[in-house]
């Protein structure tokens, strides 16, 4: 998001807060405009980060407190006015942070969806390749055990790793091990003439 857009969001939020504050000042405490103070905080939460949300929540809370003082609203104690202003600030901050988290969550979902689509496309391609290999007759050299892939003779381990994307390791089968032991035994026994 570029700086010019961020500046526009901040200016729109501040303008909204000023207009709303003026309307609340004109109407006094008889009309409850509390819910409209969420708009500038929500704008900052949706388009900007947490710092802007907290700053706008503070501005909204201070504005609410000043407007409450200017409206000459009577409270049993002055502490109630400031407690109400603190509650307003907390409500503004919570809504702004929730909006910011909602936007972040939606962006994360878009990224995950794109990764899922990419993975599904790779799976589809791999499945098509496997089906193509399954449908074709595979020619294997009887002597070298190489496989013919589109006119090119490839070692079996190369075919498994490059074409089928499998990981391989090497070991010795029991039959081969027995043959090696038998050959070693024959080589170790002296032959009599």
pLDDT tens, position by position, 114-145: 999 999 999 998 888 778 777 777 788 888 88
Residue 182 placed within a domain: no
Q: What's the pTM value of the predicted model, to 2 decimals?
A: 0.58
In this structure, the answer to whether residues 26 and 111 fall within a common structural domain is yes
For residue 193, the model assigns a pLDDT of 54
Domain annotation covers residue 127: no
Q: Is the pLDDT of residue 112 over 90?
A: yes
Which residues span the domain enclosing 157? 137-170
Q: Does residue 66 register a pLDDT over 70? A: yes
Shared-domain flag, residues 111 and 53: yes
Is residue 189 a part of any domain in this protein? no
Domain boundary among 119, 150, 183: 119
97 in a domain, yes or no?
yes
Share of the chain above pLDDT 70, in %: 95
Mean per-residue pLDDT over the chain, rounded: 85
Same structural domain for residues 27 and 74? yes
- The answer on 111 and 153 residing in a single domain is no
Residue 185 lies in a domain: no
Q: What is the DSSP string of the chain?
A: --HHHHHHHHHHHHHHHHHHHHHHHHHGGGS--GGGGHHHHHHHHHHS-HHHHHHHHHHHHHHHHHHHHHTT---SSHHHHHHHHHHHHHHHHHHHHHHHHHHHHHHHHHHHHHHHHHHHHHHHHHHHHHHHHHHSPPEE-TTT--EEETTEEE-HHHHHHHTS---------HHHHHHHHHHHHHHHSPPP-
Shared domain for 82 and 9, answered yes or no, is yes
Pick the more confident residue, 24 or 128: 128
Domain assignment of residue 8, yes or no: yes
Say what the pLDDT of residue 30 is. Answer: 66
Q: Which residue has the tokens 């942070």?
A: 97
What's the mean pLDDT in 163-167?
A: 78
- Number of folded domains that form the chain: 2
Mean pLDDT of 165-193: 81
């Amino acid at each position: 998001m570029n700086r010019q857009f961020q500046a526009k969001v901040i200016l729109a939020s501040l303008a909204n807060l000023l207009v709303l504050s003026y309307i609340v000042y004109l109407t006094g405490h008889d009309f409850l405009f509390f819910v409209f103070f969420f708009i500038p905080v929500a704008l900052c939460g949706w388009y900007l980060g947490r710092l802007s949300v907290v700053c706008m929540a503070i501005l909204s809370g201070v504005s609410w407190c000043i407007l409450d003082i200017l409206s000459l609203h009577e409270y049993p104690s002055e502490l109630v006015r400031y407690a109400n202003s603190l509650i307003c600030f907390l409500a503004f901050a919570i809504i702004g942070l929730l909006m910011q988290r909602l936007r972040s969550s939606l962006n994360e979902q878009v990224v995950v969806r794109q990764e899922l689509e990419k993975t599904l496309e790779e799976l589809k391609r791999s499945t098509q390749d496997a089906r193509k290999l399954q449908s074709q007759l595979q020619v294997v050299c009887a002597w070298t055990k190489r496989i013919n892939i589109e006119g090119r003779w490839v070692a079996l381990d190369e075919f498994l790793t490059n074409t089928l994307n499998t990981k391989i390791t090497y070991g010795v089968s029991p039959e081969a091990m027995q043959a090696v032991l038998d050959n070693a035994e024959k080589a170790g026994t002296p032959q009599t003439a």
